[in-house]
Amino acid sequence: MNLNLKVWRQQGGQSKGKFEEYSLENVSEEASFLEMLDALNEQLISKKEDPVAFDHDCREGICGMCSMTINGEPHGPEKATTTCQLHMRHFKDGETITIEPWRARAFPVLKDLVTDRSAFDSVMQAGGFITARTGSAVDANEIPIPKGVLDEAMDAAACIGCGACVAACPNASAMLFTGAKVSHLNSLPQGQAEKERRSILMVEAMDSAGFGGCTNVGACESVCPKTISLDVIAKLNRDYHVSSIKKIMRF
């Protein structure tokens, strides 16, 4: 198939970007979206032009590296699918496809489609862990965990940290991402000791990293490639408020 591509090009963080148009011929329907971009880049290189920079690594939907907004939708049109798992058979011959980076204050563009998502790491560093020094653990079966509790924790733990939720949100809020980690750890027996601290510190880190507030739009849930549910936000809100009140009462 033949395609018209409108791709966001930006030299660096400080420069102004703009859309460039390219036409690409003979794209295989079997190719993945990123393989289509590889072909575009080969074409650009053969003309001695600068290839389009984009993030990617595993190309199987698990590392969370790929990150682009395709025709206005983070990760493109398919539900529960990362960009790297999107295939060209979902596009039509002759179609124009617009490709741009995540747009969010906390994710500044580094070049073309590559953004800096280290703000996510800083939220995790604030409290996204259970303190367990190597060598200090008890036998793994000493803490039985009901299957239902475990399954819920696992649902939340499936987040790949891609940032699509932030890119889709009109407020660029990171509540779905943060809620996923808090729900995972706060629902497990091992996570109880640090539950309050974690809830407060992660929300504070999220605010200071420049993410916006949540106004319950729900766009995050619909673009999330791992179908993380809005329930995690409700849980985060609950744990955060309870923890804040307890903190005040202790004063």
Is 66 near ligand SF4 (CB under 6 A)?
A: no
Q: Name which of other proteins, ligand FES, ligand SF4, none residue 118 binds, using a CB cut-off of 5 to 8 Å depending on partner kind.
A: other proteins
Residue 195 three-state SS: helix
Scanning 23-31, 36-44, 92-100, 160-168 for contacts with ligand SF4 by CB under 6 A, the matching segment is 160-168
**Residue number, 162 or 200, with CB nearest to ligand SF4:** 162
* Nearest approach, Cβ of residue 75 and other proteins (Å): 13
CB of 178 vs ligand SF4, minimal distance in Å = 9
Measured CA to CA, the distance from residue 112 to residue 110 in angstroms comes to 7
Q: For residues 83 and 74, is the Cβ–Cβ distance under 8 A?
A: no
159 binds ligand SF4 (CB under 6 A): yes
> Could you tell me if 233 and 241 are in contact, meaning their C-beta atoms sit under 8 angstroms apart?
no
CB contact set of 210 (below 8 Å; sequence gap of 6+): 105, 106, 119
Which range touches ligand SF4 (CB under 6 A), out of 84-92, 144-152, 188-196, 219-227?
A: 219-227
Least spacing, CB of residue 117 vs ligand SF4, in Å: 9
Select the residue interacting with ligand SF4 from 165, 172, 182, 205 (CB under 6 A): 165
Least Å distance, CB 82 to ligand FES, is 4
Q: Which residues contact 112 (CB under 8 A, 6 or more apart)?
A: 7, 8, 9, 10, 17, 52, 53, 54, 101
- Rounded CA gap, 46 and 96, in Å? 23
Distance in Å, CB of 146 to other proteins, minimum: 5
164 touching ligand SF4, by CB under 6 A: yes
Q: Which does 82 bind (CB under 5 to 8 A by kind): ligand FES, ligand SF4, other proteins, none?
A: ligand FES
Alpha carbons within 13 angstroms on the beta-carbon side of residue 27 total: 31
Angle at 178 between CA 158 and CA 98, to 5 degrees: 75
* DSSP H or E stretch at residue 73: strand 73-74
Q: Which 46-85 residues touch ligand FES, going by CB under 6 A?
A: 56-59, 61-66, 82-84
Q: Which is nearer to ligand FES, 71 or 81 (CB)?
A: 81
Interaction between residue 228 and ligand SF4 (CB under 6 A)? yes
Q: In 3-state terms, what secondary structure has residue 18?
A: strand
> Which residues contact ligand SF4 (rule: CB under 6 A)?
159-165, 176-177, 180, 224-226, 228
